[in-house]
Structure 1
Amino acid sequence: MMAKSDGGSYFRRSSLFWMVVVTGFLSFYTWMVFWPQDVPYSSLGPLGALAKHFVDYHYPVMYYGWFLTWVIHLFEGVFALKICSDKGIDSSSARLLWFAQTFLFGLASLGLLIRYKPDGRPKRQ
């Protein structure tokens, strides 16, 4: 949705599918890292067996990987701000929305911003 014809306040929400997938994955990952004893592994079928294996044999990688995941999301959010500047999105509210959405949902949001063409040129395939 464009509020102005120049694209200065352009913002588009990520698809609900990706929002649910990313939120579900990061929530489950957080649960496995911080409360592994509470995860019902046996009720989750093959996913539970895989999760249990990672918790039992690769926990330090998962623990530090959790922090790395959020650092990557932070950098993606900052990169979204740079892209907003490059594409002429000058509304502070639109820039804040792009940062927050990209921080929370990563590439699911960043891809929308990268594909945005502010001057109306057709997208390259």
Structure 2
Amino acid sequence: MAKSDYFKRTNLFWMVSVTFAVGYFSCIVFAPELIPFQQLGGFGSFCKHLVDNYAGVMYKGWWAAFAVHVFEACVALKVCRKKGIDSSATRFLWFFQTFLFGFASLGLLLKYDPEHPKRR
């Protein structure tokens, strides 16, 4: 694989975990009526308390998390350029994956060393 085309999919564990966490957080912020808090035990009680008492903070936190993911995705583009990944399609894949999964993706890109490829 040419260094200009280097892409590595993030671990399935992180894909599932981040998708679930962001989805749950989004539901808590934008559609809390969909969450069966009483069926989630102590965690549900805690989340219900946050919804009832800190909805504004949760809303701002959601937008902050969104902004962090956008920032990480932009950093991924800069790192791609620095590491010689110049394929537009590959750079888009890094941008999109990092936007969705954050540091779980960006960490893979930061670890990539085009000067010393791994031996198999």
| TM-score, normalised via structure 1 length | 0.90
Matched, 1:42 2:38: yes
Residue by residue, what CA displacement relative to the aligned partner does 1:74-122 show, whole Å, maximum 9, x if unpaired? 0100000000000000111110000000000000000000000011167
Residue by residue, what CA displacement relative to the aligned partner does 1:45-69 show, whole Å, maximum 9, x if unpaired? 2221111111111110101111111
**Aligned equivalents of 2:117 and 2:32: distance in 1?**
50
Mark the runs of 5 or more structure 2 residues left unpaired by the alignment: none
Residue of structure 1 aligned with 2:69, choices 68, 73, 89? 73
* Letter of the 2:12 counterpart: L
Matched, 1:113 2:109: yes
What percentage of residue pairs aligned between the two structures are identical? Answer: 48
4+ aligned runs moved over 3 Å, structure 1? none
3-state secondary structure, aligned to 2:95? helix
Residue of structure 2 aligned with 1:101, choices 90, 97, 103? 97
Mark the runs of 5 or more structure 1 residues left unpaired by the alignment: none
Q: Which has the higher helix share?
A: 2
Residue of structure 2 aligned with 1:32, choices 28, 32, 44? 28
| TM-score, normalised via structure 2 length | 0.94
Residue of structure 2 aligned with 1:23, choices 19, 26, 46? 19
Task: Identify the residue that residue 56 of structure 2 maps to in structure 1.
Answer: 60
Aligned length: 118
**Aligned equivalents of 1:22 and 1:40: distance in 2?**
20
Residue of structure 2 aligned with 1:82, choices 66, 78, 83? 78
**Aligned equivalents of 1:45 and 1:10: distance in 2?**
44
